[in-house]
Amino acid sequence: MEITRQLAAELKLRLEQVERTVALLDEGNTIPFIARYRKEATGELDEVQLRSLAERLGYLRSLQSRREEVVRLIEAQGKLTPEISAAVEAAVTLQELEDLYRPFRPKRRTRASIAKEKGLEPLADLLLAQGRDDPRQLAEGFLTDDVPSIEDALQGAQDILAELFADDPRQRALLRKFTFDAGILAVERSDKEDAPEAEEFQMYFAYREPVAKIPPHRILAINRGERLGALKVKIEVDAERVHTLLCRQVITNGSSPAAPYLRAAIEDGYARLSAPSVEREIRNALTETAEKHAIQIFAKNLQNLLMQSPVRGRRVLGIDPGFRTGCKVAVVDEFGQLLECKAIYPHEPQGRWQEALRLLASLVSKHGVTLITIGNGTACRETEKLAAELVKEYCPAVQYLVVSEAGASVYSASELAREEFPELDVSMRGAVSIARRVQDPLAELVKIEPKSLGVGQYQHDVNQKELSDALDTVVESCVNHVGVNLNTASSALLRYVSGLSTKSAHEIVNHRTANGPFKRREELKKVKGIGPKTFEQAAGFLRIAEGTEPLDNTAVHPESYPLAREILAACGFSPDGLQSREALSQLRAKLRELDPERVASSLGAGVPTVRDIIASLSQPGRDPRDELPPPLFRADVLSMEDLSPGMVLKGTVQNVVDFGAFVDIGVKKAGLVHISQLSDEYVRHPTDVVQVGDIVTVRVLSVDPKLGRISLSMKIEKA
């Protein structure tokens, strides 16, 4: 079936939709650009649908390429028959294709190939024919110097049959399904006494679970234990049931004297050839599924982390806590520009608590700070006490917020941080990052490799390239959904804009530094390396707030400016009305009265484009994150000792994993809301109930200070 037709059928889309979308992808258009500015062509497919289509397109093209390669390889051996050719053409997965090619794959010398060299293949064929002749009498005709006995001849024939059965595509498919459906994953402690981190895997020292039911996070945990040498893992299957199943496929005449020899070949082929390779295939498939699931959870958590509401218009004092080396303090203005930085030593061994309080109070007063952010690493708990006392004794109008400092050290040592703050100590750069990440989480966190942001599960145990690709896709999606200020964005943020690369992002920053702020989007074409195609892909996602073209501060693409001006004119306005609060209020009222279908018809434009232009003109400079709730600010501090069962608190979801959610409630350790405690209703997966960054109300179930564990519940307490 033609690939576009297959895609249309699988994704339940119109053929012309798929054909136009594939053409756009093949022309080098990015998915954010297609989703936002080519809705007429795609039939308004959203980003998720487009990415699914692009992924499936890539798979089907790989399948077709491999199909052609398999046909070529079999043909080169002179073994291509119409039946094989038809089977290859009908294969719908790479696994099916590889099963078909398996018998023709070049092998090392095997027992079967040695038997064939001795001329025993015709004897194997006679046994497979399941006639009435005695196999021992048949074997006499194959005795040679290399085959001195009847037993040697029959054994050689069975070796050939064992490999034949093990390579048979239908039998492998049957065996793979049976092993998955009926197999048991059996795990036990490794024999290695000195296996590293063995105790971490204690729950798996004598563990059994059906292959078909084991959840993804357990697969990854078991894989890690096996990789570290702490666990031994195998799939157990009832061999007798397998033998019976395979015999039904092969032995068509149970009364034939050859039947016992065929059964022996089946049993040998299963034990020696099929079972080990099928077990590897199933475990690889389980791992692939588990990794894909873990990457999806990581990606979802990352998206929610990046899309947290920015805290605008506040001067922030960021503290990177520490004991021996002190706490690093950085003050930034409303726009994230560094104003001042200091080091304080309130904790042991120095213990200069009062001096630290006075210095912090001085910085708050001097710079008009209204918010303090504290990194959640070492000495966070003690520094939080310092902030609470500062608020209580010196500046009651100030609030504080504990933020994840995940990745701050990675940013501090990066080339980008050195470019931004060449004169600052590495640890001081971390304090700047901690201050800025609450002002604009997206702009700050894109400077850090996503894997370092601490919102994943088993991120070191999955395919690293696939993880990086998935996370980059999430960042790209978030950045283009929000839009980027062309005159303030860092190169780290710009490189995720549709159509731009790391090199072109650097060129934009260099051009901005040399020539001053951009006044129009059109000036982007003057930047080295920005050609017509790059401009087309990127322009709509870049904003200029104080430029000479008011439409540049909207999501309207420059190619649609004439259409936008016609729509404005129909409302009695010019683009200048977008820059006046009073005029904008009147314009919104007029735009609400427009019927997009009627406007599109009168102006000869597409309805989706007109609808989007009307929405963009209503909200110039809009940031979709502003509609989200702000982070949870604090003015006091709790310790683990302050917690008791039944206490109800507000907290922030820090990470979501397969078995629950970790919630920051203002003590040193995040508490766990197990999946069973997330809701009074059945919860299929924690992400159906909570997301990273959510503010939730929780009830303390239990506290174990010794192990540092806090159990929480989000269930409604029964009266």
Q: Cα separation of 583 and 595, whole Å?
A: 21
What is the structure's pLDDT at 718? 63
What is the structure's pLDDT at 195? 62
Supply the CATH classification number for the domain 480-627.
1.10.150.310
CB 182 within 8 A of CB 237: yes
CB 329 within 8 A of CB 341: yes
CATH class of 640-713: mainly beta
pTM: 0.86
Q: Cα separation of 212 and 498, whole Å?
A: 41
Q: Quick check: do 3-104 and 480-627 share a fold?
A: no
Amino acid at site 717: E
Domain at 316-473, CATH from 3.30.420.140, 3.40.50.970, 3.40.190.170, 1.10.1740.10: 3.30.420.140
Q: Cα separation of 618 and 587, whole Å?
A: 7
Domain at 3-104, CATH from 1.10.10.60, 3.40.50.880, 1.10.10.650, 3.40.720.10: 1.10.10.650
CB 449 within 8 A of CB 316: no
Rg (alpha carbons) of the chain, rounded to whole number? 33
- Reading the block at residue 667, the tokens are 């003590």
What is the structure's pLDDT at 637? 61
Strands 316-320 and 371-375 turn out to be: parallel
What is the structure's pLDDT at 197? 63
Q: Residue count of the chain, please give it.
A: 719
CB 211 within 8 A of CB 286: yes
Buried residues in 55-82 as b, exposed as e (16+ CB within 10 A): eebeebeebeebbeebbeebeeeeebee
Averaged in consecutive runs of 10 residues, what is the pLDDT profile of the chain (719 residues)?
90 95 97 97 96 96 96 95 94 94 91 95 95 94 94 96 95 95 95 70 92 94 91 95 94 93 96 95 95 92 91 94 94 95 94 96 96 90 90 91 87 90 91 94 90 80 90 94 94 95 95 95 95 96 93 96 95 90 89 93 94 93 84 71 85 89 84 93 92 90 86 81
- Reading the block at residue 322, the tokens are 């520490």
Buried residues in 514-532 as b, exposed as e (16+ CB within 10 A): eeeebeebebbeebeebee
Query: Residue ranges of the domains in the chain?
Result: 3-104, 111-183+237-295, 316-473, 480-627, 640-713
CB 395 within 8 A of CB 361: yes
Count of C-beta atoms within a 10 Å radius of residue 259 = 18
- Reading the block at residue 682, the tokens are 């059945």
Superfamily for the 111-183+237-295 domain: Tex N-terminal region-like (1.10.3500.10)
- Reading the block at residue 122, the tokens are 């015709």
